Structure 1
Amino acid sequence: MNFENMNIWCWIIPLLVGLLCALFGYLLGKGKSETVVDHSAELKQCRETNAKLQADLAACTKKLSEKPVSIPQPTPSSTSNITSSFGATAEVEAAPVPIPFDAAAAKAVFGKNIKQDDLKVIEGIGPKIEGLFKGADIATWKALSETSVASCKEVLATGGERYRIHDPSSWHMQAKMCYEGKWAELAKWQDEHDHGRL
């Protein structure tokens, strides 16, 4: 009698262990398949965000690449011609006033001392690339903000093959923010664009 009871338990215990293992395996497998669905949704959202940011960058780049038409400064004799031809004196734009550099405002945003026209503030530019640009007479934020992407690539090409991998498409925009003293906007842009990388 004792032997028969023991024989039944020899069958029941492995059967229960097998059922429990099957149940846990099913639950683990189901949990893993749901995780893949969650990651694909996140990936889709990241791709949509990336596409939007690419479009924003393209719009900003296009806007910055459009150069405003400058009105030539009239000489005193041409001013009188303008007056006599049209019967009224034409208003002439004054020469642009340079924007003063505010080191304290830059330090307040970046938490470190920023020197005027330090090209290394721009994400993607290090000491070697700054040297290449200074060698090409692009030594200020204003000069870099007025330099086309194609010209930036030409400057990078002078440094050799290892500098061709850099993407200067946002450098003129970042340089313009530096020149105009828009430090908070620059820091926000660099954070939103993974520190300059798109």
Structure 2
Amino acid sequence: MSLEEVPLFYWTILFVVAVIFGILGFIYGKASPSSSNESSEDIQMLEIANAQLKSDLMACQQKLPSKEKQEDHFKTENVAALGTQATFDPKRAKAAFGKNIKENDLKLVEGIGPKIEGLFHNFDIKTWEKLSETSADTCQKVLDSGGKRYRIHDPASWPMQAKMAYEGHWEQLAEWQEKHRAGKY
């Protein structure tokens, strides 16, 4: 069938469809700029709100004390509130544990015995404070230095226990150790 033989009916349908799509395209094209105008208005409103929030933030930051003052206040507050190692109180420690406690005795930490204490001393970790500042990974390295027989120990809680001892939280430490007897959680 050639183009000359195509019935007029098909040409009419093709023309009507083209006109409809043309009208729809025109309408869509007219609608798009107005929606972009609305979008730009939204963006302007958001920029204004953002500027307002930034100015509020700056005002709040100016009201806050400096970072040094905050840190000093935090340190002073902690020493007063927690009694962090102001003095070692053997009577309170004995009351909590029911036995005499020597200051900086690493064996007080659940899971550390005399041999493991010796390993820590080899790494110059001889106080509760020093052990409390030691990561669990470093504790594991200390254990690894002793050989295969120390693999069964889990030092994850040792820094936390040492911190409780260093800060004089005897009742809390004794209670924690009672709940986690023999290193089992």
Shorter chain as denominator, the TM-score bin is: 0.5 to 0.7
Q: Which residue of 1 aligns with 2:177?
A: 190
Aligned equivalents of 2:138, 2:167: Cα separation in 1: 22
Q: Alignment partner of 1:169: what SS? A: helix
Alignment of 1:116-155 (within 5 A): 116-155=103-142
Query: SS state of the match for residue 139, structure 2?
Result: helix
Q: Which runs of 5+ in 1 are unaligned?
A: 1-85
1:135 maps to amino acid: N
Return the structure number with greater helix share: 2
Query: How do 1:70-89 and structure 2 match up within 5 A?
Result: none
Structure-2 separation of matches of 1:123 and 1:129: 11
Please give the TM-score of this superposition, normalised by the length of structure 1.
0.52
Instruction: Call closer, same or farther: CA 1:109–1:195 in 2, change over 3 Å.
Output: farther
Candidates 94, 100, 107, aligned match of 1:107: 94
Task: Identify the residue that residue 42 of structure 1 maps to in structure 2.
Answer: none
**Gap regions ≥5 residues in structure 2:** 1-61
Q: Deviations for 1:105-164, whole angstroms, at most 9, x for unmatched residues?
A: 001111111011000001100000001001101111111111111100001111111112
Equivalent residue runs for 1:1-198 within 5 Å? 90=66, 91-92=68-69, 93-94=71-72, 99=85, 100-198=87-185
Identical aligned residues as a percent: 59
CA RMSD of aligned residues (A): 2.1
Q: Kindly provide the amino acid, as one letter, of the partner of residue 123 in structure 1.
A: E
- Once the two structures are TM-superposed, the CA of residue 195 in structure 1 deviates from its matched residue by 4.1
In 1, distance between residues paired with 2:162 and 2:129? Answer: 7
Determine if contact 2:107/2:114 at 8 Å carries over to the other structure: yes
Deviations 1:59-82 (A, max 9, x none): xxxxxxxxxxxxxxxxxxxxxxxx
Alpha-carbon distance in structure 2 between the residues aligned to 1:117 and 1:141: 5
2: CA distance between counterparts of 1:119 and 1:195? Answer: 16
Q: Which amino acid aligns with 1:180?
A: E
* Separation (CA, whole Å) in 2 of partners of 1:196 and 1:181: 21
Q: Distance in 2 between matches of 1:160 and 1:195?
A: 21
Task: Please give the secondary structure, in 1, of the residue aligned with 2:183.
Answer: coil
Deviation at 1:194, TM superposition (A): 2.4
| TM superposition shift of 1:168 | 0.3
Whichever of the two has the greater Rg, that structure is 2
Distance 2:108 2:181 in 1: 15
Cα deviation for residue 196 of structure 1 reads: 2.8
SS in 1 for 2:156: coil
